[in-house]
Every structure is written in C-alpha cells, then in structure tokens.
A and B are shown apart, each in its own frame.
Chain A
Amino acid sequence: MLKLTRYVLYDIIRSRVVLAYAVFLLLVSLSLFNLEDNPSKAILSLLNIVLIVVPLISMIFTTIHYYNSYEFIELMLSQPLSRTRILLSEYAGVAISMITAFLIGIGIPVLIYVPDAVGATLVLTGCGLTLVFTSIAFLASVKARDKARGIGSVLLLWFYFSLIYDGLVLLILFSLSDYPMEKFTLLLAALNPVDLGRISIMLKLDVSALMGYTGALYKEFFGSNAGVLFTSAMMVLWTAVPLWTALLVFRKKDL
C-alpha cells in the first residue's frame, strides 16, 4: 500500500497542479500579512480562504485526479491487489499532497505571523477540511459515471456546504423563531463540516461577541474540552463515513 501511495504521490507532484496550489496559497497569505498592518485582520481574510477556497480546490483536484488516473487504477486492478487497498492508497496520496500544499501555503506563514491559539486553530481547521472534502470528492467521483458528472456533482456539493446550507439554517431559524432553538442550532452546525470549522475559529476570534445572549451557550458547548472533542470527532466522522461509503461502492462497481 505504501508503495502504491508513493506512486500516486509521485504522479501528483509531476503534474505540478499541487505545486501551483501551494504557491497560490503562499502568495495570498504573505500578501495579506504584509498588506494589513493588523495580523488579526489578515486572519479574517484567511478564514474565508480556508472555509471557501480550500474545500473547493480539494474537491475539484481530487475529482480530476481520480478520472485522470482511471487507467492507472484499471492497471492496478489487473494485479493481485484488493480494491480497498487501491482506493485507500489513492486517497492517502491525494490527501497527503493537499495537506502538504496547505501547510506550506498557509500553515507556515500563519505560524510565523500569528503563532497563537487563533493561528493554530486556523491551520488545524484547514487540514481537517482538506481531509473531509477530499473524502467527499472520492465518494462523488466513485459514484458518478463520467468526468463531467463527477465535477458537476462536486461543484454542487461545494455550493451546498459553503452557501446553501447556511441559507437553509437562516431560513429554519427565522421560520421557527418562536421556539427555543439554541440546542437545535448546535445540531445544525454539526451537520456541516464548514460550519464546524468556522465556529471553532470564531470561538477564538470573537470571544467578546460570543459572550452575549445565546453566544454564551455556543461558547460553553464548543469552547469546552468536550466541545473540542465533539468537533474533532465530527470531523473524523465526516472524513470516515464518505470514504467508507466510497470503498463500498468501489468494491462492487463494474469498472
């Protein structure tokens, strides 16, 4: 499996897309930190990058990579290797390269300019989101019949997680505003990895605002050790469940 992952990694590095991604992130974060006199404002802009760009690129890259290495996968399948191992090595290769690019592009500048709890949370959240969306993209590409459908569904999923879902939450909160919704919103937030990531960073950034009104409840829940555990567990679930489903589908798929 390690050998296979090494081949996948070698293939990805040769294509230079990941390199471009890392350079892009590095340029963005360096220019943000140098433009803004206040590093916490730069962190705010980086937050948007982490929550929007990172999931998008992770998903699109994963899908394109999957379809591009389709022939390689077919070749491997003719060898005495299990399908699970092949797909897992593909996943490991893609995830490792994406996370490395993210760490080079955003992790290093953030840890240099804001080496505190906010910075660390931002980097961890970014890594978590990369893992989650790579695995969701694997599921989508394994399920879809061709490349166009695969990319289409991945874009739709990205749109859903980063925009439509929050719109739905807003709608639900307004239409049910006569009821006590605080606990329910906690559940709603847990059902979207982007929201989970955003809340864990927000807890470090906007502590004063969060202490007001219902915010105290959110802080109490997500800010406690149990909350951090809960967030991490949800992120792991969001990674594991799509990947496991993808394995199930891939094992039975008529290639």
Chain B
Amino acid sequence: MLLTILNLCIVVMLSANTIEVGKDRRGGTLRQAVSLAKSGDTILLYPGVYNEGNIIISRSLHLLGIGSPVLDGELKNELLTLSGHGIVVKGITFRNAGYSSMNDFAAIKVIDATGVRIENNTIENSSFAIHFANSTLSVIRGNTIRGNNKSEHSSGNGIHLWKCSQMLVENNSIEGHRDGIYFEFVTFSVIVQNRSERNIRYGLHFMFSNDDHYEANVFRNNGAGVAVMFSKKVTMVNNHFEENWGAAAYGILLKEIKEGTIIRNTFLKNTVGIFMEGSSRLLIEKNNFRNNGWAVKVQASCDENDFGFNNFFGNSFDISTNGTMMLNRFYSNYWDRYEGYDLDRDGVGDVPFHPVSMYGMIIENNPTTLILLRSFMVSLLDKAEKAIPSLTPENLIDDKPVIKPNRL
C-alpha cells in the first residue's frame, strides 16, 4: 500500500516536466509549448522577442522568463490570458499590448482564477497592464509598469482588479497609465510598498471595495491624486501622498467612506491633502500635513470623524469647510499657526484653536478672491474674525492643541 503511494508520488513528480522555449531550444514556439504542457509543468522562456499573438493558459503552468525575454503584441493583441489556478508568470517583459475600444485588452489578463502569481515582470506601452477579474488569493509583486498614454479615454489602468478577493499587490512601480492601481469590488486585499507616479488620472482608485488595507505606498504627481470612494473599513497606513497638483487634484479624495482609518501618512505639497465628502466614522490620526494648499477640506456632509495627533506645517490653509455645521472632532493636533499659550506647561495650549480661517471661508464661496492671498487686508479680516467669530463654524475647534509637534 505504502509502496503504491510512493510510486504514485514519483510518477507525479516525474510528470512535472520542464519545457524550454527559445532559439535553439527543443520546445518549439511558446504557443506549441503551452498547448503541449500538462498541468504542473514549467515553461522556461529564453531571451528573444516573441510575436506570437494572444496566448491562453488555462492549466496550472509556471511560465518563467530567463534573462527577460520579450512578448511583443505589436499594438494589436492581448498578450497573455490566464484562467484557472496556480499559474505563475515571472520575469518576462511585455511590450505593446493592443488597444481596442470594444475590449479591455491587457498585457496580462486573468479571469476566473485563483492562486495566480504575477511577479517581477516589466510591462511597457500597453493600455491595460495587469487586469484581474473575478479572481481570488493571487499575488502581483515586483512588477515594473510603464505606460506612455496621453489621454484618459485611450488608456487603461496599470493594475486593474475587478471583483477580486484576498489579493496582494506588493512592491510594484506604475507610471503613465490612466489609473495606477484600480480596485472595484475588491475585498480583503492588501496593497503594500507600491509606487504610483505620473498617471493621467488617479494613482490609486478604489470603488466599492471593503476591508482593504494599504500601507507604505508612494503616490506622487498623479493627475488627480488618490480616490477612495463608496467603501467601508479601508485602512491606510504610512503612505506618502506627494505633489498632486491641479484644480481637481487631491492627496486623497474620500467620498462616501465609512469606518476607515488613516494613520501615519504624509501629505506633502498637494493642492488639497485630504478632501472628504459624505464620509463618516473615520479615524485620522498621526498624519503629517506639510506645505499643502489646503491640508484638509471637510465638507459639511461628513460626520463623526476624529482628527487627532496630526501635525500641520506650512499649509496655505489648514482646514476648510463649506458650511457652518460641523459634526467632527479635532483634538491634540499640532498647528503651526497656533498663537495660544501654555501657562501650566503641560504641553497643551490653554486656548482652543480655530483651524478654519475667515479667508478660507471667503475663498470657499468665491474662489476668485484667491488673488488676495497673503494680503494685509486678508490678515486683518482673519484677525478680526479671530477676535469676534461670526462666519467660521464655531464648533470646529481643537480644544487641546499641542504646543510641540506630535512625535509620530
């Protein structure tokens, strides 16, 4: 009995073949190799340029590139289409995947799959780079994705996940796509240590995706920053949101977000650091807001959000809002504009701080008045409003502003 099992194991192990594809190798073309390979086989792809059109893998194969072979789609085809389980694609350069206005052609498309690993690939000049649909438990790691698309409608997303669960997106670098990373109906997934830069629209775009976690990513110089919309229980830790400049560019745009956490992030030189609309029960703690136009814009439709232990340095406006209603809490933040005193020397200012300035309210009503920024007139108005508050929301105050910046 034992011997039979052992024999079976050996048979299985022996049947996991390795097929070599490349110039002077016996495996023939990549298409032939894929159609011949059995489940569990490994295909080694040797250096060279392969123009073999769309290759479909539906068995659990390992496709490994040796010395970065190139799959070229000649701007006509989708390159790899994967479906099934346990497929690995590693170390391959994908180039010139096609564009179609009917289909979402991608360099690597994964449909109805589980346990797929896409690692250390380079994807250049494609509309969609990595496209997952209806998949679970997969890993996208260490890929370098460079698009060079000019307009929003003719371009796709770098890493596009639709209806997935338990995914890991780690250590990828994405540039020049429509959205760097796009999540729609993706749950229980993790995005770690990615760099998303210079994308036409959002660096990260989140829709209807609950219970996700993103940590230590860098989102820089994207057309509109990062958007997180219609999601619950999203945690964002240690991310950098930098230099997202423009009329509609935000470090993060939060729309209809519930019960999320935003901790220890850095917002540097964005037109707006955080823009919140219809969001509630968020915990926004220990973030650094530095040199932004507006550090935080809280619309009056937000409620029960907690802003605590954040540091505000050198922002043109700290907080701005569009109404007099304010149902959020501000506590123990450091504001570089705070002019109060601390008589008992417990590190907490004795006078509450009003982070919304009169001029901030004026600009909200009439954006053209931005031309008066930093004028004597405006500082007089702000001083007058501070003495006798009438226009700014009276309950938007930090009762316990700290005197020294919070250590993060």
Is this pair of chains taken from one and the same complex? yes
Interface residues in chain A, defined as those with a beta carbon under 8 Å from any beta carbon in chain B: 38, 40-41, 44, 47-48, 51-52, 162-163, 166-167, 169-170, 173-174, 177, 181-182, 185-186, 188-189, 195, 198-199, 201-202, 205-216, 218
Structural contact, A174 and B376, CB atoms closer than 8 A: no
Interface bits B337-381 vs A (CB < 8 Å: 1, else 0): 000000000000000000000000010011111111111111110
Interface residues in chain B, defined as those with a beta carbon under 8 Å from any beta carbon in chain A: 245-247, 249, 269-272, 291-294, 313-314, 316-317, 336, 362, 365-380
CA distance in complex: A210, B317 (Å):
12
Structural contact, A208 and B367, CB atoms closer than 8 A: no
Q: Looking at the complex, which one of B270, B293, B294, B372 makes contact with A169 (CB distance below 8 Å)? A: B372
Structural contact, A211 and B271, CB atoms closer than 8 A: yes
Structural contact, A51 and B376, CB atoms closer than 8 A: yes
Distance (whole angstroms) from the CB of A188 to the closest CB of chain B: 7
CA distance in complex: A40, B291 (Å):
10
Structural contact, B317 and A198, CB atoms closer than 8 A: no
Given A206-B293, A213-B247, is A166 in contact with B271 using a C-beta cutoff of 8 Å? no
Structural contact, B293 and A212, CB atoms closer than 8 A: yes
CA distance in complex: A182, B366 (Å):
11
Contacts of B246 in A (CB 8 A): 211-212, 216
Contacts of B377 in A (CB 8 A): 163, 166-167, 170
Please give me the residue from chain B that is nearest to A215 by CB atom: B370
Structural contact, B368 and A209, CB atoms closer than 8 A: no
Given A41-B314, A195-B375, A208-B316, is A173 in contact with B369 using a C-beta cutoff of 8 Å? yes
From A173, A182, A188, residue with most partner B Cβ within 10 Å = A173
CA distance in complex: A201, B377 (Å):
17
Contacts of A205 in B (CB 8 A): 374
Structural contact, B366 and A209, CB atoms closer than 8 A: no
Given A208-B269, A211-B247, is A188 in contact with B376 using a C-beta cutoff of 8 Å? no
Contacts of A163 in B (CB 8 A): 376-377, 380
Distance (whole angstroms) from the CB of B290 to the closest CB of chain A: 10
Q: Looking at the complex, which one of B294, B336, B378 makes contact with A209 (CB distance below 8 Å)? A: B294
Structural contact, B374 and A170, CB atoms closer than 8 A: no
Given A38-B314, A214-B367, is A209 in contact with B293 using a C-beta cutoff of 8 Å? yes
Please give me the residue from chain B that is nearest to A206 by CB atom: B316
From B271, B366, B368, residue with most partner A Cβ within 10 Å = B368
5 nearest CB pairs, A to B? A209-B293, A166-B377, A209-B316, A208-B293, A211-B245
Structural contact, A213 and B367, CB atoms closer than 8 A: yes
CA distance in complex: A163, B314 (Å):
25
CA distance in complex: A222, B110 (Å):
49
Q: Is the interface of A mostly helix, strand, loop or mixed?
A: helix
Distance (whole angstroms) from the CB of A143 to the closest CB of chain B: 26
Contacts of B365 in A (CB 8 A): 177
Contacts of B372 in A (CB 8 A): 166, 169-170
Contacts of B380 in A (CB 8 A): 163
Structural contact, B374 and A166, CB atoms closer than 8 A: no
Known: A211-B249, A216-B246. 13 other contacts (CB 8 A): A40-B314, A166-B376, A173-B366, A189-B371, A195-B375, A206-B293, A208-B245, A209-B292, A209-B316, A210-B293, A212-B293, A212-B367, A214-B368
Please give me the residue from chain A that is nearest to B336 by CB atom: A41
Given A206-B316, A211-B271, is A216 in contact with B368 using a C-beta cutoff of 8 Å? no
Given A40-B314, A189-B371, is A52 in contact with B376 using a C-beta cutoff of 8 Å? yes
Please give me the residue from chain A that is nearest to B292 by CB atom: A208
Given A206-B316, A208-B291, A209-B294, is A48 in contact with B371 using a C-beta cutoff of 8 Å? no
CA distance in complex: A48, B374 (Å):
8
Contacts of B376 in A (CB 8 A): 48, 51-52, 162-163, 166
CA distance in complex: A47, B374 (Å):
9
Distance (whole angstroms) from the CB of A173 to the closest CB of chain B: 5
Q: Looking at the complex, which one of A38, A166, A177, A182 makes contact with B375 (CB distance below 8 Å)? A: A166
CA distance in complex: A163, B246 (Å):
30
CA distance in complex: A13, B38 (Å):
96
Contacts of B245 in A (CB 8 A): 207-208, 211
Please give me the residue from chain B that is nearest to A36 by CB atom: B336
Structural contact, B247 and A218, CB atoms closer than 8 A: no
Structural contact, A177 and B293, CB atoms closer than 8 A: no
Structural contact, B371 and A212, CB atoms closer than 8 A: no
CA distance in complex: A235, B104 (Å):
56
Structural contact, B366 and A174, CB atoms closer than 8 A: yes
CA distance in complex: A213, B366 (Å):
10
Contacts of B317 in A (CB 8 A): 209
Contacts of A186 in B (CB 8 A): 371
Structural contact, A211 and B293, CB atoms closer than 8 A: yes
From A185, A199, A208, residue with most partner B Cβ within 10 Å = A208
Please give me the residue from chain A that is nearest to B372 by CB atom: A166
Distance (whole angstroms) from the CB of B117 to the closest CB of chain A: 40
CA distance in complex: A40, B365 (Å):
29
Contacts of A215 in B (CB 8 A): 247, 293, 367, 370
Structural contact, A209 and B373, CB atoms closer than 8 A: yes
Contacts of B362 in A (CB 8 A): 170
Please give me the residue from chain A that is nearest to B249 by CB atom: A211
CA distance in complex: A213, B312 (Å):
22
CA distance in complex: A48, B373 (Å):
12
Structural contact, A166 and B294, CB atoms closer than 8 A: no
Please give me the residue from chain B that is nearest to A201 by CB atom: B374
Please give me the residue from chain A that is nearest to B363 by CB atom: A213
From A166, A177, A205, A218, residue with most partner B Cβ within 10 Å = A166
Structural contact, B271 and A212, CB atoms closer than 8 A: yes
Please give me the residue from chain A that is nearest to B268 by CB atom: A208
Contacts of B370 in A (CB 8 A): 209-210, 212-215, 218
CA distance in complex: A254, B316 (Å):
53
Structural contact, B369 and A206, CB atoms closer than 8 A: no
CA distance in complex: A212, B370 (Å):
10
Please give me the residue from chain B that is nearest to A212 by CB atom: B271
Structural contact, B374 and A177, CB atoms closer than 8 A: no
